[in-house]
Amino acid sequence: MPAARIVGETGKVYAFDEDPDAIDRLKRKATIEDIKNLEAKIGKAEDTVLCEECADIVFFGIVLHDFEDPTRVLENSKRMLKATGRLVNVDWKKTSMEVGPPLQIRFSEEEAARLIESVGFKIQAITESAPYHYMIIATKH
């Protein structure tokens, strides 16, 4: 929802999740808030390319560690990004804490950066994003 407000009426936001209930909740909220520039779809990220070279930003919000095949997801993301686009990955730090997913499935900042670079992205920045998360920004070249 925040992304749809940021890009405004002339922009477009695609959202997808393999959980039909999550997509349904998002669509209902968009209707209530009269947001018309958001397109929400059900699907697996491993099997989804929403567009070819049309996205300014592909954003992963605390999910890269959940994908069955994160390499394939990143390759699909690269296909969707414009040449000048950016990949933004926010995920859980790989440290022991009382919240979040199990430690063994998390990627450290270094592991995530290596994975992102392995499909041809160039890391632009790795920063802390709140006490429990980090953020990686990468470009296609």
User: Does one domain contain both 72 and 126?
Assistant: yes
Please provide the size of the chain in residues: 141
When divided into structural domains, the chain yields a total of 2
Residues 29 and 51 in one domain: no
Question: Domain containing 29: what range?
Answer: 1-43
How many Cβ atoms are within 10 Å of 2's Cβ, its own excluded?
Answer: 7
pLDDT tens digit string along 74-119? 999 999 999 999 999 999 999 999 999 999 999 999 999 999 999 9
What CA–CA distance (Å, rounded) separates 136 from 62?
11
Is residue 1 within 8 A of residue 25, CB to CB? The reply is: no
Global pTM value: 0.90
Using one digit for the tens of pLDDT, what is the confidence trace for 15-71? Answer: 989 999 999 999 999 999 999 999 999 999 999 898 899 999 999 999 999 999 999
